[in-house]
Amino acid sequence: MREITFIPIKLPYAPPPEPEAWKKLPAPRRLEDVRARLLPLLTQELDVHGLKQGNPVFIRLFKESYELELWMRPARGNWKLFRTYPVACLSGVLGPKQREGDMQAPEGFYTVASKQLNPASSYHLAFNIGYPNAYDLHHKRTGSHIMVHGDQASVGCYAMTDPVIEEIYLLVSAALENGQREVPVHCFPFRFTAERMNQAQNSPWLSFWENLQVGFEAFEQHHVPPQAFVRDGKYGFR
C-alpha cells in the first residue's frame, strides 16, 4: 500500500479538550461536550447540503487512498455525499483481515448498530464496524474490536483524529437514535476503476476484489447502498 502524506481536514469547530482531561470525563459528559461544541455549526453545515442531524448515514472507506466518505439521505431525495475525510492512519496492506493480530484493516461489507457505539473509548470516541461478519466467519477469519476511532494510531482500525471522529460519531449516533437500524460501512481496498483492476490481475485477492466490486458498482450506479448477504462463501447484494 502506497504511503500517504496525511493532511488534516479543517473543520469549523472548537478543538476537543486535551487528551488527559478528556480521559477523565465519563461518557455522558463527553457527549455533552461534543454536542455543545459542534452542533450549532454542524447544523449550519448540514443545512447547506439540504441535510439534518438524524438523517440516515452510509460510510465508505478506501484503504489505498486513505479516505472515508460519509453519505447522508435527506427526508426527500437521494443520498448525498456530505464530506470526504482523510484517514489519519490504518495498518497493514491491501487485502482483507484474516486473523487476530495480523494488523490488517478489514475489507468487506459491515454494519454499525447502536450497541457498537463506544463513547468511553480510549481512542476519544469510537464505533465497532462489526468485524468479523458472516462472510469472515464463513472463511474462518478471526479478530475483534475493529473500530473507526479518534487518535492517529492503528492496529487494524481506521484512525480519524479526535476532531474528525467527533463529527462522524455525532452523525452516526444521531441516525441510529432517529430510527436507522444499522449504518452500512463498506470497506474497499481502492476505487474500482477498470485501470486499477487491470493492475490487480496478478493479486491473490483478485477474485475477492471482483466480488467487492459488484457491491461498489451497485452503489455507483443507483446511489442506494446495497444490502449485502453471504451465499456459498461469496457476497450477494439486494
Burial of residue 15 (number of CB atoms within 10 Å: 0-12, 13-18, 19+): exposed
pTM of the model: 0.97
Catalytic residue IDs: 149, 157
- Gap between the Cα atoms of 155 and 229, Å rounded: 27
CB 211 within 8 A of CB 135: no
Instruction: Give 92-119 pLDDT, tens digit per residue.
Output: 999 999 999 999 999 999 999 999 999 9
Instruction: Give 141-186 pLDDT, tens digit per residue.
Output: 999 999 999 999 988 999 999 999 999 999 999 999 999 999 999 9
Q: Amino acid letter at 124? A: H
